[in-house]
Amino acid sequence: MNDTPGTGASTRCTGLRRITDLDPDQLAQIWGREPRHVPAAALPTPFADLLGTDDVDDLLSRRGLRTPFLRVARDGRTLPDADFTRGGGVGAAISDQLDDTALLRLFAEGHTLVLQGLHRTHPPLLDFSQQLAADLGHPVQVNAYVTPAQSTGFSAHYDVHDVFVLQIAGEKQWRLYPPVLTHPLRDQPWQERAEAIADVASDRPHLEVTLRPGDTLYVPRGWLHAATALGGVSTHVTVGVHVWHRGHLAEALLDQARREVLARAEQRTSLPPGVDVGDADAIGEEVEQVRTALLDALADVDAHRVARALAARHRAGQRPAPVPPVASVAAADEALGERLRPRPHLAARIEHSGDAPLLISRAGRLRLDEEEARIVGRWLDGESVDLGDALARRLLLAGVGTLRGLPGAGLGSIS
């Protein structure tokens, strides 16, 4: 079953369209290869609705945020949490809530404030990030960097994920340099190549640009970058795109082949007594036998099995749209009728393996009978169907459906 219902052209790539002037095919030509600066004039709307200075102060002082939702850094050094946290006060057995008084002092001294995980804590960025992830097909996370005038939060470094930089307020000068390691993986951090990075960053930048409010900058993973605030306070949002790559396909292929090999009794046979597995000569014949079995098994693994193996990781990479638990339960005994709709960003599909159809989604697993599976499948695809009150109530309380007009219910596509 397709995860995404049919949509009109006007509603497609709504998250992506906010941050780039390229359509998906054009973006694919530079994806992971070349940085790109897009001025605000080339984009449909500024970013004031996503995050503002008042929002930042509210998050820092009124929301009771804890670490690791904030980092504080200056000149490439990250402060220990104890420098900007304190206890939650009477009745709250919490020792690491943000201390706004300490943050006031540190920011005045020139430290950069890094708000992390805003795709979970700030509703406008939650909605935007979920739509962007649906457009890209890759999971995303959102951080914000608030930098005092003339300050550099982090020296030249690279990220192991792609980044879209959205300039919110103030101006920031960015310097980008070619990679010292192309397409780095998560276990290949920049710190391991600090000397090579410093050497490359001493040369002329590949791209030097000043971001102004409403501008965006795309930085592929591996590209070296450093930024300095100009004039007053500068705030930018970074959308980290944790890309799927061919290494993930290789992992899934090998895992499926390994499972196939171990399903054969002869490949589960014990090695002989006295074997020295550290001696290549002693295990050479066994290694060749297993290698042959693995190669045969790999040849039998098709793309459908790889996709099924990666589907669970795809679902885990993002959360579904928010759902209001209390309001949903309170409304569960009402006449649900046509008010129930699929919960957005659910990544739902119906699988028919086993004794009964199974609805699998980011909300979990729900068993259905054959008739229910037929009806729910049409409902997920956007058709107008009569679910009946009993089935609708099950879908609502399982977190698969949400009611139109219910306060706190997420919006967007169901992809």
Tell me the sheet residues that pair with 112.
73
pLDDT digits (tens, 9 = 90+) for 321-341: 999 999 999 999 887 877 899
What values do phi and psi take at 340, rounded to 5? -80, 130
Instruction: Say if 232 falls within a structural domain.
Output: yes
pLDDT band at 9 (very low <50, low <70, confident <90, very high): very low
Question: Which range, of 1-15, 262-276, 277-291, 398-412, averages the lowest pLDDT?
Answer: 1-15
Evaluate if residue 147 carries a pLDDT over 80. yes
Q: Are strands 358-361 and 349-351 parallel, antiparallel or unpaired?
A: antiparallel
Question: Which range, of 40-49, 63-72, 148-157, averages the lowest pLDDT?
Answer: 148-157
pLDDT band at 406 (very low <50, low <70, confident <90, very high): confident
Tell me: do 134 and 260 sit in the same domain. no
Evaluate if residue 11 carries a pLDDT over 60. no
Tell me: do 306 and 338 sit in the same domain. no
pLDDT band at 415 (very low <50, low <70, confident <90, very high): low
Evaluate if residue 10 carries a pLDDT over 50. no
315 or 4: which leads in pLDDT: 315
Tell me: do 59 and 198 sit in the same domain. yes
Question: Which range, of 345-349, 351-355, 405-409, averages the lowest pLDDT?
Answer: 405-409
Instruction: Say if 291 falls within a structural domain.
Output: yes
Per-residue pLDDT, averaged over 118-122, amounts to 95
Q: Are 216 and 143 in contact (CB under 8 A)?
A: no
Tell me: do 266 and 374 sit in the same domain. no
CATH number of the domain to which 72 belongs: 2.60.120.650
- Structure tokens given for 110: 């020139």
- How confident is the model at residue 228, as a pLDDT? 87
Per-residue pLDDT, averaged over 134-138, amounts to 95
pLDDT band at 144 (very low <50, low <70, confident <90, very high): very high
- Structure tokens given for 107: 């920011």
Per-residue pLDDT, averaged over 228-246, amounts to 93
Tell me: do 152 and 21 sit in the same domain. yes
Give me the DSSP letters along 24-67. Answer: HHHHHHHTTT--EEE-GGGSSS-STTT--HHHHHHHHHTS--BT
How many domains does the chain contain in total? Answer: 3
- How confident is the model at residue 152, as a pLDDT? 65
Instruction: Say if 30 falls within a structural domain.
Output: yes
Instruction: Say if 410 falls within a structural domain.
Output: no
Percentage of the chain lying above the pLDDT 70 cut: 94
Q: Where does a domain end: 289, 314, 339?
A: 314
Tell me: do 351 and 275 sit in the same domain. no
Query: Pick from 87, 93, 237, 268: which is nearest to 166 by CA?
Result: 237
Per-residue pLDDT, averaged over 11-16, amounts to 68
Q: pTM, whole model, 2 decimals?
A: 0.89
Tell me: do 110 and 79 sit in the same domain. yes
Give me the DSSP letters along 193-230. Answer: GHHHHHHHHTS--SEEEEE-TT-EEEE-TT-EEEEEEE
- How confident is the model at residue 2, as a pLDDT? 40
pLDDT digits (tens, 9 = 90+) for 358-397: 999 999 999 999 999 999 999 999 999 999 989 999 999 9
- How confident is the model at residue 100, as a pLDDT? 96
Tell me: do 185 and 296 sit in the same domain. no
Measured distance CA(301)–CA(306) in Å, rounded: 7
Q: Where does a domain end: 293, 314, 335?
A: 314
Tell me: do 28 and 79 sit in the same domain. yes
pLDDT digits (tens, 9 = 90+) for 291-300: 999 999 999 9
223 HSE (CA, 13 A, CB side): 25
Q: Where does a domain end: 314, 338, 354?
A: 314
Instruction: Say if 2 falls within a structural domain.
Output: no
Tell me: do 131 and 40 sit in the same domain. yes
- How confident is the model at residue 1, as a pLDDT? 45
Tell me: do 369 and 343 sit in the same domain. yes
Q: Are 343 and 397 in contact (CB under 8 A)?
A: no
Measured distance CA(349)–CA(60) in Å, rounded: 39
Percentage of the chain lying above the pLDDT 90 cut: 83
The whole domain housing 178 covers 9-241
- How confident is the model at residue 176, as a pLDDT? 98
Tell me: do 288 and 222 sit in the same domain. no
- How confident is the model at residue 412, as a pLDDT? 54
- How confident is the model at residue 409, as a pLDDT? 66
